[in-house]
């Protein structure tokens, strides 16, 4: 039965006060449109509906409207939805980066060298690229944490409030109405912004944001059987000519064309009895999730403007209480439908071994398992950095009262061989400019146990070519072997403190080969025994001296131990990193300086430690670095250096050179408020105090003779590496201004 006049509606609502006729009231549908962070206004609208005892019988939504509407359909009230949304960092939903501390020890070191993941690879004889800038892993985790352990649902009509979400099938741009199945996946499909997030594969379709085809799904509410529609429109108006000032603005304008066109078509379907609520959210960006708390009242204000019309739909207290009780009864039925999870099933769509994935899921299912424990396990699998997506769902067993936790993995669609990159720029404005571009290709999953063949190249001021085969012996990757080699050229801006040296700069050209075996003690630690051979030559620069400074060779065994829990490579806020090495080497060299010539056996030692902690936005970082050889004379086979930002600031990069070095650094940083700097990247102001030196022969233990230095700086941790501008000064009178960007120095 369709109601066409307000008078008839009012009459019916009066009759609804009689228990026998309570079910004869008009069926009301709530339609929530898409608009990113502006969707917080939907919560404000829900608050007004609840305050005025207005029932909702159907919900349909698109994008963020599907998310808010989905939570409401599950039986959450407006305050609960607000609590859920305010407790989540939606900005992380637009970053699929694996937190550094979750990576394996080997992957941590690799990310430090090659921090840029272009989502490009090689497979099937061709170059491949990802279907979106992000794959939606973190977004799906946010959604699952929001809704809890909701099992696969046969029909969304069985929810406390019948629900529909709208998505777009990307191959033919057709509208797809989601009405059953994995509830979290349905919400994500509707929220997947094309270009930013990769489409969701579901029922043989490739689904993305429903705003492309139906951003305000009034038609769906009509099909559900609604007598009256309450539609909430948070769409963006078209930009003016002055506002179209970037490529992003152009893309946004094109998106607005599509959503506004279908929005207008949907609004034209509203009848006289329907209500359109339009919160004033102009100027609010779709990605301004940090402002959602302030957007909620905009929805309340807009809904109250329609209060005269909305109040005609209000129930009396008794009927509204009965409506709420019925909704909560159905919610409890939904909760009870989650039977005890008795088993786990892995659907592994990759060449990664099942046993390695199951090792990360060890302990599941567990008693009293909740969404947090499931997501923590999913994160461990995703941290293997071998998958495009890792998902989880609860499937009801057909023949008993138990459920199955189904974990699904998808191999990177741009793999299995993937590219990574890194950049480095450092300038101290004194003719010391250092540039580097790094590219690596990793061939993954060799021989069934996670083996890798990785080749990397560095071009720029220095050049290096490296290749390495890494092969675990077991599927859990506990024991491994490594074989590799490299060749390259490296420039130094200083020389050992030798009297009457006729040059100030030199180049080292070297070759290295190594092999070893190791044990991954945990996700954060390893121990390795290796054998290395290296040879090379030093050539002078900026001099009339002809010929090389000297040649060298060295080989021997070394034992190393590594431990790493830092949450950042250069400006961490927590964790520790330790590398300790001891080696026994045999070396020989011929040098322009007689004192360099010789042949000797010696012990070599190296210790690097970095630790970080924080109190609120105040971060404290300490570092100790020591490298030495048990020799009393200079040796070209073990040349070390200091100088540069945070490495005796004030000196040019690598300008202090010798056979022994020691450095102690204390760094303080203060993280600025993201709203103040206008970026999601962590931005810091900081200062450092440094003490150390380099020696040719025996190091001195007299700290009064060590160089003291310090710096002040502004820095940031970006997706491409660290960035900083700094002023450094040493007590020897050296000063430098540093501009730095890229991977660790």
443 and 419 Cβ atoms separated by less than 8 Å: no
Q: How many whole angstroms separate alpha carbon 368 and alpha carbon 95?
A: 30
pLDDT at 180 over 70: yes
Q: How many CB atoms lie within 10 A of CB 132?
A: 18
Mean pLDDT of the chain: 86
Residues in the chain: 745
Closest CA to 255 of 231, 229, 285, 230: 285
**From 96, 112, 182, 209, active-site residue:** 209
Annotation marks residue 63 as catalytic: yes
Cis amide bond preceding 256, omega within 30: no
Confidence of residue 726 (pLDDT cuts 50, 70, 90): very high
Beta carbons within 8 Å of 709's beta carbon, 6+ residues apart: 648, 649, 650, 651, 689, 690, 691, 728, 729, 730, 731, 734
Closest CA to 518 of 38, 101, 105, 179: 105
pLDDT at 94 over 60: yes
Confidence of residue 336 (pLDDT cuts 50, 70, 90): confident
Confidence of residue 296 (pLDDT cuts 50, 70, 90): very high
Closest CA to 352 of 475, 461, 251, 270: 475
Write down the pLDDT at residue 91. Answer: 72
SS3 367: coil
pLDDT at 631 over 60: yes
Share of the chain above pLDDT 70, in %: 88
Beta carbons within 8 Å of 634's beta carbon, 6+ residues apart: 496, 498, 591, 593, 595, 596, 658, 659, 696, 697
Write down the pLDDT at residue 568. Answer: 86
Question: Where would I find the H helices in 436-544?
Answer: none
Tens digits of residue pLDDT in 450-501: 899 999 999 998 899 999 999 999 888 999 999 999 999 988 776 444 444 4
Q: How many whole angstroms separate alpha carbon 465 and alpha carbon 484?
A: 11
Tens digits of residue pLDDT in 34-54: 988 899 999 999 999 999 999
Annotation marks residue 209 as catalytic: yes
pLDDT at 110 over 70: yes
Look up tokens 């998902």; give the residue.
391
Tens digits of residue pLDDT in 346-363: 999 988 888 889 988 888
Question: In the chain, what is the straight-line distance between the N-terminal and C-terminal CA atoms, in Å?
Answer: 73
Give, as one character, the DSSP assignment of residue 678.
Answer: T
Q: How many whole angstroms separate alpha carbon 307 and alpha carbon 264?
A: 23
Share of the chain above pLDDT 90, in %: 53
Residue 151, strand partner residues: 394
């Amino acid at each position: 039965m369709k109601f066409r006049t307000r008078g008839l509606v009012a009459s019916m609502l009066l009759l609804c006060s009689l228990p026998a006729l309570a079910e004869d009231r008009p069926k009301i549908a709530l339609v929530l449109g898409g608009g990113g962070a502006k969707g917080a206004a939907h919560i404000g609208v829900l608050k007004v509906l609840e305050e005025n005892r207005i029932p909702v019988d159907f919900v349909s939504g698109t994008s963020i409207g599907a998310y808010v509407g989905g939570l409401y359909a599950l039986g959450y009230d407006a305050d609960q939805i607000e609590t859920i949304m305010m407790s989540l960092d939606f900005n992380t939903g637009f970053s699929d980066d694996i937190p550094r501390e979750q990576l394996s020890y080997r992957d941590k070191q690799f990310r430090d060298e090659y921090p840029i993941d272009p989502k490009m690879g090689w497979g099937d004889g061709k170059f491949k690229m990802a279907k979106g800038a992000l794959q939606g892993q973190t977004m799906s985790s946010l959604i699952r944490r929001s809704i809890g352990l909701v099992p696969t649902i046969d029909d969304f009509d069985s929810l406390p409030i019948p629900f529909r979400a709208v998505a777009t099938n990307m191959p033919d741009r057709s509208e797809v109405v989601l009405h059953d199945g994995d509830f979290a996946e349905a919400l994500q499909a509707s929220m997947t912004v094309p270009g930013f997030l990769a489409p969701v594969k579901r029922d043989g379709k490739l689904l993305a944001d429903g705003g492309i085809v139906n951003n305000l799904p009034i038609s769906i509410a009509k099909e559900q059987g609604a007598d009256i529609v309450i539609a909430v429109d948070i769409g963006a108006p078209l930009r003016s000519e002055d506002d179209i000032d970037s490529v992003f603005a152009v893309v946004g304008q094109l998106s607005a064309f599509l959503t506004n066109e279908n929005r207008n078509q949907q609004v034209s379907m509203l009848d006289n009895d329907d209500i359109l609520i339009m919160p004033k959210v102009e100027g609010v960006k779709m990605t301004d999730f940090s402002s959602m708390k302030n957007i909620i009242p905009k929805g309340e204000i807009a809904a109250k403007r329609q209060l005269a019309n909305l109040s005609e739909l209000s129930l009396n207290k008794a009927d509204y209480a009965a409506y709420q009780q019925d909704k909560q009864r159905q919610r409890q039925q939904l909760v009870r439908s989650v039977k005890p999870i008795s088993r786990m099933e892995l659907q592994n769509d990759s060449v990664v071994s099942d046993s390695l994935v199951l090792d990360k899921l060890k302990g599941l299912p567990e008693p009293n398992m909740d969404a947090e424990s499931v997501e923590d396990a999913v994160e461990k699998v995703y941290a293997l950095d071998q998958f495009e997506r890792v998902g989880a769902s609860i499937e009801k067993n057909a023949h008993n009262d138990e459920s199955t936790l189904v974990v699904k993995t998808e191999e990177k669609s741009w793999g299995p061989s993937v590219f990574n990159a890194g950049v480095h720029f450092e300038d101290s404005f004194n003719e010391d400019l250092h540039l580097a571009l790094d590219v690596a290709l990793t061939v993954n999953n060799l021989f069934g146990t996670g083996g890798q063949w990785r080749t990397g190249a560095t071009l720029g001021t220095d050049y290096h070519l490296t290749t390495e085969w890494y092969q675990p012996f077991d599927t859990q990757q506990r024991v491994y072997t490594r074989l590799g080699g490299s060749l390259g050229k490296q420039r130094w801006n200083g020389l050992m403190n030798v009297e009457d040296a006729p040059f100030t700069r030199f180049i080292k050209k070297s070759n290295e080969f190594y092999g070893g075996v190791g044990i991954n003690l945990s996700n954060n630690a390893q121990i390795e025994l290796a054998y290395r051979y290296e040879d090379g030559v030093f050539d002078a620069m900026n001099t009339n001296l002809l010929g090389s400074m000297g040649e060298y060779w060295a080989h021997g065994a070394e034992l190393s131990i590594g431990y790493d829990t830092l949450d950042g490579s250069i400006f961490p806020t927590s964790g520790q990193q330790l590398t300790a090495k001891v080696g026994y080497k045999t070396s020989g060299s011929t040098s322009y300086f007689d004192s360099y010539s010789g042949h000797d056996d010696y012990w070599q030692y190296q210790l690097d430690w970095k630790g970080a902690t924080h109190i609120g936005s105040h971060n404290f970082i300490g570092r100790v670095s020591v490298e030495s050889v048990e020799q009393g004379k200079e040796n070209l086979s073990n040349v070390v250096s200091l100088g540069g930002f945070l490495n005796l600031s004030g000196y040019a990069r690598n300008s202090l050179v010798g056979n022994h070095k020691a450095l102690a650094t204390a760094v303080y940083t203060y993280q600025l408020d993201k709203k103040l700097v206008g970026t999601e990247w962590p931005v810091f102001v900081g200062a450092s105090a440094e003490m150390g030196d380099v020696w040719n022969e025996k190091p001195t233990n007299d700290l009064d003779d060590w160089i003291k230095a310090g710096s002040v700086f502004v820095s940031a941790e970006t997706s491409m590496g660290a960035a900083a501008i700094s002023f450094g000064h040493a007590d020897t009178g050296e000063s430098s201004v540093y501009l730095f960007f890229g991977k660790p120095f």
